[in-house]
Amino acid sequence: MAFRKALAYSKKPARPYTRNSRSKSKAYIKTVPGQKIVKFHMGDQKAYDQGAYPFALSLISEEGVQIRDNALEACRMLLLKVMDEQAPGQFYFNVKVFPHHLQRENKSAGGMAGADRISTGMTQSFGIVIGRAAIVKPGQQLFFIACQNEKAAKIARDALATVRSKVPCKTRITFEKVA
């Protein structure tokens, strides 16, 4: 089944409350979908911990928004591919947000007027889980890249600029020299 447009969820206020019960029949959420983000820390973390990377770049959200886990994974894959090809072994990369929020939808009947839930009344009114999302606040970091030299920092900045189109919010790129 295809995804709904991100517009259906991204700018809407989240419903973070979910009834989770030990008794499966009383819980609103029966199953939780698997995690699509494969890794959160990539590159040379040991060198980053020792302070070998003086340049730090971040992609920061300017709006409060929900970002789906498949959008975060697409961004992660693109950033890692670019950094591995053009600056191998000269970076540390971190995904800063985690998709905790479960997105739900009610299947709607096509031809009936006002049929939000198909012949169920208020049972299962919360809908079924269709995916995960990270709830991001304004000013929160999405991705962090630390680099060894200015050339790698320029590559990382260009990669972050490319990734901006995959995220459903306005973003800014920050650059700082730590050393």
Q: Which of 13-22, 81-90, 138-147, 158-167 has the lowest mean pLDDT?
A: 13-22
3-state per-residue secondary structure call for 100-156: CEEEEECCCCCCCCCCCCCCCCCCCCCCEEEEEEEEECCCCEEEEEEECCHHHHHHH
> Residue 105: pLDDT band by 50, 70, 90 thresholds?
confident
Residue 91 confidence (pLDDT) above 80? yes
Residue at 15 is within a domain: no
Q: What is the mean pLDDT of residues 148-174?
A: 95
- Nearest 5°: phi and psi at 95? -90, 120
**93 has pLDDT over 90:** yes
pLDDT in tens, 5-23: 767 777 777 665 556 667 7
Asked if residue 118 belongs to a domain, the reply is no
Domain that holds residue 44: 40-103+125-179
Question: Is residue 48 domain-resident?
Answer: yes
Q: What is the mean pLDDT of residues 80-97?
A: 94
Per-residue pLDDT tens digits for 26-74: 776 777 788 888 899 999 999 999 999 999 999 999 999 999 999 999 9
pLDDT at site 34? 83
Write the CATH number for 93: 3.90.1170.10
| Residue 47 belongs to some domain of the structure | yes
Classify residue 144: in a domain, yes or no: yes
On whether residue 162 sits in a domain, the answer given is: yes
Work out how many domains the chain is built from and give that number. Answer: 1
Judge whether 153 lies within some domain.
yes
